Amino acid sequence: MIQKKFSKLIGLKHEDFLSYKDSGQIVAQEARLIPLLKTGDEGALTSIFMSAVRLIREYRDSIFKEIKLSRGGKAYYLTEVVFKDIDENSRIDGLIIVVSKGAIADAVVFEMKNKNNSVDIAQVEKYIDLCKKIGVSKMVTISNEFVSDSTKSPVKAKAPKNFSLYHFSWTYLMTKGQLLLFKNDANIKDEDQVEIMKEALHYFDSPSSGVNGYHSMKPGWKETIEKITNRIPLKVSDGFVEEAVESWHEEEKDMALLLSRKLGTLVKSSTRAKDSVKNDIRKVIKEQELLGNLSIKNSVSDIKVKVDFEVKTVSMSVKVTPPLNKGTAARITWISKQLESAKKKNEEVFTSFEKDILIEANIKHAREHIRIPLSGFETLIQDSKGKEIQAFNIVLLSKFNAGFGSNKKFITLIEKMVLDYYSGIVQNLANWNQPAPKL
C-alpha cells in the first residue's frame, strides 16, 4: 500500500507516524543511553542527553517546564530525523514528540553543537522554516555557548511571533543534572535514576565528550579595554563593544552556574530584558563600567558585581542589616565581630584578600556612604557620630591589572574571586532580625 505524502507532525496520529517511518518517508533513530557511535561524536552526545531526559523524571520535568513542552502525554525521543517529503537534505539532530489520545499533541526540535562549533544562524533559520512546515512551534539549540537566559539565542535568527527559540549551554544542562543529585527538595528520588544521572554527567564531564565550559571572553572584550585605556572614544555602533557586553552577560551566567554546582542550589544571575545589551553598551561608553547580580537563596543578600574598565578592577559586595534597636557605635561593633568570626572560620582565604576588604556604612538621609578599609573601624565610629547607620556593604575590591584585558585570564581571576569571596565572607554573614514583641 502506497503511503500518502507526509505534511504535518502536530495532530498526526501516532500510528500514522510509525507508518511513515516504516515506509521510509520519515527517517529516525531512537535515542540510546549507550549509542553505537564514537566517543566525542556530536550524535553520541545528543543520544545520551536525550536518553537522560527520557529516563530521569526530575531532569525531564525540569527541562520540559523550561521549554514549555507538554507533560500531559507519552513522550518519544528520536535522533537523526529526516522528513523526506518536506526536505530530504535536512537532518534534525533531536526530536521529542508528545503523544496524547493517540495523536501527536506537541513536539520540539533540537539542534546540537559540541566542541568549538557555534550555533549557525543560517542552519537555525533553515530548521525554523522546516518546523513551520510541519507545524512545530518550538526549537532548542544546545552548544558550549553561554546565554544569560534560555529564551535568548547566541544568534539573531528571524523567527515568527508564535515560534519559541530556546538555547541551553552544555554547562547549564550539566548543572541542572548536578543539582538534582544534592540532598534538597528537588533531588532525584529513584535510586536507579540517580545512577543514570551520574553516568550521563560522567560522560558530559569527560574532555572527550566535546563539552566545554566558558573559558574565554570574546575578542571584543580585549579591544574595548584597549580603546578605553588609550582614551579612544567608543560608539554605540562599535561591534567590539557589543561583544564585550555579551561576554560579560555570559560570564555572569557562568559564575552563577559555578556557584550553583558548589552550593547545590540554583544561583540566579541578572534578569536580562530585551534591551539589556543596548543599555549596557551605553553604560560602557558613558561610565566605563558594567554591573552584575548573583542571587543565592538564604544568603545574607544578593552579591552585587561591578566591573570597572577604566581602573581595571572588579568589586563584589553584599548588604548586611545591623541591629536597628541599638546605637550607631553598637552597630559598628556588631559588624566588626561578624567579620572577625568570618576570619576565624576560613582564615586562609580571608587573609589572602583581607587588605582588599572595604566597609561601606549606609547613612540615613546621606547622599554618599562612608567607606573605610577593614582596619578603619575607629575612624568610622568618629565619622558616624550623630548619624544613623542603616546598613553595611561589605566590599571586596580586586585589581586585575593586565589580567583584566586578557580574554582567558579575566575569567580565571573573577571565578576564583567569587568563590573566595563567598567562602571567606558571604556564607559567614547574617542579618539582624527584629525580635518578636513581648507581652
Residue 352 has pLDDT above 80, yes or no: yes
* Cβ neighbours for 438, distance < 8 A, ≥ 6 positions apart: none
**H or E element, residue 93:** strand 92-100
* Cβ neighbours for 77, distance < 8 A, ≥ 6 positions apart: 30, 31, 50, 51, 53, 54, 94, 95, 96
Query: pLDDT category, 185, cuts 50, 70, 90?
Result: low
- The closest of 410, 361, 413, 407 to 383, measured between CA atoms, is 361
pLDDT in tens, 230-277: 999 999 999 999 999 999 999 999 999 999 999 999 899 998 888 999
Q: What is the largest CA-CA distance in the chain?
A: 94
Q: Do residues 293 and 303 lie in contact, with contact meaning Cβ atoms separated by under 8 Å?
A: yes
* Cβ neighbours for 149, distance < 8 A, ≥ 6 positions apart: 271, 272
- The closest of 115, 85, 112 to 96, measured between CA atoms, is 112
Residue 300 has pLDDT above 50, yes or no: yes
pLDDT score at 388: 94
Angle at 120 between CA 5 and CA 49, to 5 degrees: 75
* Cβ neighbours for 365, distance < 8 A, ≥ 6 positions apart: none
- The closest of 193, 188, 249, 191 to 218, measured between CA atoms, is 249
Mean pLDDT, residues 49-61: 97
Mean pLDDT, residues 355-370: 94
Residue 411 has pLDDT above 50, yes or no: yes
pLDDT in tens, 121-163: 999 999 999 999 999 999 999 999 998 889 999 999 999 989 9
Residue 1 has pLDDT above 80, yes or no: no
To the nearest whole number, what is the mean pLDDT of the chain? 94
Mean pLDDT, residues 205-230: 93
Mean pLDDT, residues 278-306: 97
pLDDT score at 12: 96
Q: Do residues 49 and 200 lie in contact, with contact meaning Cβ atoms separated by under 8 Å?
A: yes
Cα(433)–Cα(324) distance, rounded to whole angstroms? 9
Radius of gyration of the CA atoms of the chain, in A: 26
**Strands 138-143, 164-169: pairing kind:** parallel
Query: pLDDT category, 438, cuts 50, 70, 90?
Result: confident
Residue labelled with grid coordinates 538555547: 167
pLDDT over 70 percentage in the chain:
99
Query: pLDDT category, 426, cuts 50, 70, 90?
Result: very high
- The closest of 300, 305, 319, 317 to 390, measured between CA atoms, is 319
38 vs 256, more confident:
256
Cα(412)–Cα(408) distance, rounded to whole angstroms? 7
